[in-house]
Chain A
Amino acid sequence: MIRTVNLTKRYGKFLAVNQLNLHIEQGSVFGFVGPNGAGKSTTMSILATLMEPTSGHAYVGGFDVTKDPDKVRQLIGYMPDFFGVYDNLTAVEYLDFYAGAYDIPKEKRPALIQDLLELVNLSMKADAYVDTLSRGMKQRLGLARCLVHDPQVLILDEPASGLDPRARIEMKDILKELKAMGKTIIISSHILPELAEMCDTIGIIEQGQLIALAPVDQIASRVAGHRVLRVKLLERAQEAYDQVHYLEHVTNADVQENTLLIHYTGDEAGQVALLSKLVQNGLPVLSFAEEAGNLEEVFLTVTKGVGS
């Protein structure tokens, strides 16, 4: 449904998106994860026909975003990371305006708008002026706005950012509902766990490059059995690294000053063996702690080398 081929965008000399290749199946939910400034919004603007790529191509539903923008616009509902609302319009008028902008006949609008407001839990705010709504409500109204022309594809740029936990949960529930409706969704966030439970595929982007891409269910089990062992040494951390990095169940190891971080997928007995090996070799182990893996770190380890 969505495909990018060597998509590249430069702002002057600055490379914001670098040779991005994505493929998103119809009906699937793609989570686009990366730190601020990674190029997520840029990619999504290009997909939403709001920006021309410097090179490469992007297709939505088989249509090229620069050659057939009108066809693409028909297919997509786009929610930017930051958007404003018009003051002196009520929620109903706001949606009515966009319904008109999508050429939806007047007589169909009232029922449609009522359904949309219900979907995003804003029925009670139907006649409230949009500039009086809370941020969470505005965000949900924006989502309803994306849906007025019943698009097949939703491009949602950080829809949950800036929301309080309760509003986040509400947003997540609505998105799950949309997923159940069979929409193809590309959704971005700078926080991975936020997306993990509702996406089919996760792609991680950093400095404009896709560094990891994997189906969520395929890695979920591996993520579950994944631990990070933090071994603090007095000295000779590098030596410790040499001793463990090749062991079975050690997926990755990292030296940070006098600390050795071991990504470990084995059982507890193996963990004991690992520790005793270090001690027996005379390494000055100061402490040995197990921490739940940072999902992002874990994800990167598990999918190492997929994107490149």
Chain B
Amino acid sequence: MSRLAKAFGKPHPALVCFVTAGDGPTDAVLDALVEGGADVIELGMPFTDPMADGPAIQLANLRALGKGTTTAEVFRIASTFRERHPEVPLVLMGYANPMIHRGADWFADQCAKSGVDGVICVDTPPEEDAELGPFLRDAGVATIRLATPTTDAARLPQVLETATGFLYYVSVAGITGLQQAATASIEEAVSRLKAGTDLPVAVGFGVRTPEQAGAIAKVADGVVVGSALVELVGQHGDDAPAKVRELTAALAHAVHSAKETAA
């Protein structure tokens, strides 16, 4: 069984945590996420033009690039994480250009060698899957697709066709970090998605607090938290790991116990 399947196969919903590679002391921040109880790590690949991101993650991208974070450094972070944490799934999230620049085959190969379990490419919809998807899947790396409130029933099968690993439901039409969606609409959307796929469904965008995360975890297989963690890294720099561990622990508690308290 893959690391992702195991993480989503636990008896409780999964906490998925996003931070940007190269922003702050990333190795220590990733360890703090695991210690706090994160079930899946999403590692952002910095890009000069993060079009789908709100202010918090935009700034994190620029901080990381400002420090000279290269693609090679992203893979160093991933592969050393894999040595320290053989069981915790790690997926890369980012934009197409840095992923395809040296060739999609090169990128897929690096992912496989570094122990990367999946890739979320924000600006490569199913229509352009050929650019990247087949290379990743051939290398045994999951291609995690986004579904959004605008993904209607007619379009969903096309999204699911090339989706592997898990499905990421973006709960609001918008950029990362700002708005939050109502739990009722999320519940409805998740059940619509689950009618079309056996993949686990994780929900993200705008989830900041343990309360929100717990509420979503009642109706989903996983909850993604990004901007709130990235903001801590931005505020606390080298001291961020302790803060990140603290918030992650609170989020993990809420997410992991959500379905018990619901029963």
A, B co-complexed? no
Which residues of A are in contact with B by a Cβ distance under 8 Å? Answer: none
